Chain A
Amino acid sequence: MRQFGTILSFELKSYFKNKVFVGITVFLVALIAIVMCFPRISAMFASDEADAAEVASEDKSIMLIKAQTEEQAMLTEELFSAVFTDYEIRGTGDDISAIQEQILSGEAECAFVMTGDTSYTYYVNNLSMYDMNAEIANEVLQKLYQMNAMMESGITPEKTASIMSIEITGSVENLGVDQMDNFFYTYIMIFALYMVILLYGQMVSTNVATEKSSRAMEVLVTSAKPTAMMFGKVLASCLAGLMQLVAVFGAALLFYQLNKSYWGGNIIVESIFNIPPALLVYMLVFFVLGFLIYAFLFGAIGSTATKLEDINTSTMPLMFLFIIAFMVVVFSMSSGNIDNAAMKVCSFVPFTSPMAMFTRIAMSTVPWYEILISIGILIGSTIGVGVISAKIYRVGVLLYGTTPKIGAILKAVWRH
């Protein structure tokens, strides 16, 4: 146990003395501070922007309307002016080719050419992905037609107006969790786990392989028990990773609090900083266990590599496993169907459960016993993987020459 403590503190100190580690942490904290201060910074330039906005209003892009009748022209121009506030609505009597020319030359941005009461052609130079003008026009024209039809059938304009402007009142009673609310922090946590495991997993691998290639291993392996070595190293990297995350998220929270008023109740940002405490605990549990199970394997792989260059190839299968788990979770999250069969299976498989089960807990309602079983399996597997990794480590670190095949290593581990 004392050996484990010695190794843990030595490895942890190594992280804190590592210029790259410190540099990345400082950079991330600075970056997050700037992001969190952004509304305050932009508010400082607000007055200039306001002036600029006024100028811009005079410079609105032009939307041309070509109607069939004067009455239609009047009605559509009035209605379109009300809904397309970003445009300057301008009626035109030009023929189609002239309109097209104006759009191509950039004089006007787009044009609606009415071909009937309920039909039109929309002209635009480059149709953007976010161009909703046609949909808005459809709605406006549909309403206009309905109003005209009602009035023609003898309903008074007032009655027509009240029918058309009827509003539905309703409320939602959500008995589970609001996926929209949880989406962002779940995504951030999953992504942080993904980044930290890949980054630190590689660090553990490289660390072990460096000790092996520098032959420091010769003394280490005769000085400390492999389980103490493996657990000490991996827990040190886990703590270093957690501390880095705490620094980054702590900075985010601090600078958010300092600039809270400037964020103006942004729903996404608020949802991120309002994680329920129970979920934070789950986050920590799955984060630590998920990190450890992968880091142990990265350590074991590092011990079998004979050259530092081999690490990338050797860790590839593990990376794939991890990336697949990440993909399943992220696709399920964006599909909205969190409790699909793949996610249910993944939330019990030790290598995928840290991400899958956490996502299910955060974005859906999971029975407590499922959570307990998942955590139980994960704890058991993490300890098991840790012990096996330590054994692989003991065999692996003394094998020089060509990188041994996985079968040969497992045989040797079994024999020991």
Chain B
Amino acid sequence: MILELKNIQKSFGEKCVLSGISFRAESGKAFGLLGRNGAGKTTSIRILMDVFPAEDGCVLVDGKPIDYRQIKIGYLPEERGLYPKKIILDQLVYFAQLKGMRRREAVKSVDYWLERLGMMEYRNKRLDTLSKGNQQKIQLITALAHDPDIVILDEPFSGLDPVNAILLKDVVKEQISRGKIVLFSSHQMSYIEEFCDSIAILNAGKVAIHGDLREIKRNYVRDRLVVRTVSPESLRAEFGEACTVLENGDLLIQLASPEEKKHTMKHIVEHYDVDEVRVYEPSLNDIFVEYAGDAPKED
């Protein structure tokens, strides 16, 4: 299954929130939707979920307009919250029923997920008696209980302790392996890098960059070298301001152009005592800062 958002436009009043958003996600893969606060991620997700319509553009599944009666979507919103005063089982079954499940299968599925996430003992308790992390696990069940085809997780790891984070990672991996489209929205780049094959970075309502994450990294301007050496001083003396020290002590050398890469590498190996010289591959964080940092780059 292929999910596509094509040229989505949306404005609230005079303010244009999305101007021509397009991206594509495939089943069995995780997709990272990134952007700073107010970049248009939540609006894109709401349009995808048919909370409100787009002014222009369309949402397609396998090339056809999405049929919400056929395609089930699970959503873990960034703004968490359910009914604090109601019994956990009651509200989870209610949400699963709203998504089209029959009561009996809803109860069965909710019980499976409560067991899976180690929450069975809270089944008949009120939500507000739980800790924040456990409430988040309950909220996750609302996104998964009805066995959705598309799972949208907005900041899924925030507020989870390391043990629960591992539990959630397993769940996400399982969803991916079961052929679901998993759509991630997060500011925690490490998780995106770990799960997502492709990403889209939104900036001020536009897609600043999108595509396969490895490809994006590979196509990144290769004009920086990482050098590991026991005597960094001599190198720093030669390269001056172009040479900075990374957190792990390695040196980062900025080249004037990517064409100098080969020649400079050869020069360093021949004249200095180095353990390693390689082309610097940007982290997702670098890419994010570059593309989401300021006004969108013109393509």
Give the shortest distance, in Å, between B135 (CB) and chain A (any CB): 11
Give the shortest distance, in Å, between A127 (CB) and chain B (any CB): 58
List, in ascending order, chain B residues with CB within 8 A of A13's CB: 90
List, in ascending order, chain B residues with CB within 8 A of A211's CB: 83
Which residue of chain A lies nearest to B143 when distances are taken between CB atoms in the complex? A219
Which 7 A-B pairs have CB atoms at the shortest separation, nearest pair first? A215-B81, A218-B77, A223-B98, A6-B97, A215-B79, A214-B81, A222-B49
**Contacts A6-B98, A7-B98, A398-B51: A222 and B73 contacting too (C-beta < 8 A)?**
yes
Check B142 against A219 for contact (C-beta < 8 Å). yes
* Residue in B12, B52, B94 whose beta carbon sits within 8 Å of that of A394 in the complex: B52
A3 at the interface (CB under 8 A from B): yes
Give the shortest distance, in Å, between A302 (CB) and chain B (any CB): 15
A224 at the interface (CB under 8 A from B): yes
A221 at the interface (CB under 8 A from B): yes
A42 at the interface (CB under 8 A from B): no
**Contacts A219-B75, A219-B77, A222-B75: A214 and B83 contacting too (C-beta < 8 A)?**
yes
Give the shortest distance, in Å, between A106 (CB) and chain B (any CB): 60
Q: Identify the B interface with A (CB < 8 A).
A: 12-13, 46, 49, 51-53, 73, 75, 77, 79-84, 86, 90, 94-95, 97-100, 139, 142
List, in ascending order, chain B residues with CB within 8 A of A408's CB: 13
Tally of contacts, chain A with chain B, CB under 8 A? 58
Residues A32-46 near B (CB distance < 8 A) = none
List, in ascending order, chain B residues with CB within 8 A of A221's CB: 51
List, in ascending order, chain A residues with CB within 8 A of B84's CB: 214
B interface majority secondary structure: loop
Contact with B along A77-121 (1 / 0, CB 8 A): 000000000000000000000000000000000000000000000
Chain A's interface size range is: 20 to 34
A3 to B79, CA, bound (A): 24
Check B94 against A6 for contact (C-beta < 8 Å). yes
If A14-B86, A218-B80, A223-B95 are given as contacts, then 12 extra A-B residue pairs at C-beta distance below 8 Å, sorted by A number, are A3-B98, A10-B90, A10-B94, A211-B83, A214-B82, A215-B77, A215-B79, A222-B73, A222-B75, A394-B51, A398-B51, A412-B13
List, in ascending order, chain A residues with CB within 8 A of B99's CB: 223
Which residue of chain B lies nearest to A224 when distances are taken between CB atoms in the complex? B98
Check A222 against B46 for contact (C-beta < 8 Å). yes
Check A219 against B82 for contact (C-beta < 8 Å). yes
Give the shortest distance, in Å, between A224 (CB) and chain B (any CB): 5
Give the shortest distance, in Å, between A6 (CB) and chain B (any CB): 5
Give the shortest distance, in Å, between B256 (CB) and chain A (any CB): 49
* Residue in A219, A394, A412, A416 whose beta carbon sits within 8 Å of that of B95 in the complex: A219
A162 to B12, CA, bound (A): 91
**Contacts A14-B86, A222-B46, A222-B75: A416 and B98 contacting too (C-beta < 8 A)?**
no
Give the shortest distance, in Å, between A118 (CB) and chain B (any CB): 76
Which residue of chain B lies nearest to A18 when distances are taken between CB atoms in the complex? B85
List, in ascending order, chain B residues with CB within 8 A of A199's CB: none
* Residue in B75, B80, B86 whose beta carbon sits within 8 Å of that of A215 in the complex: B80
List, in ascending order, chain B residues with CB within 8 A of A280's CB: none
Contact with B along A371-406 (1 / 0, CB 8 A): 000000000000000000000001000100000000
List, in ascending order, chain A residues with CB within 8 A of B12's CB: 412
A220 to B142, CA, bound (A): 10
A243 at the interface (CB under 8 A from B): no
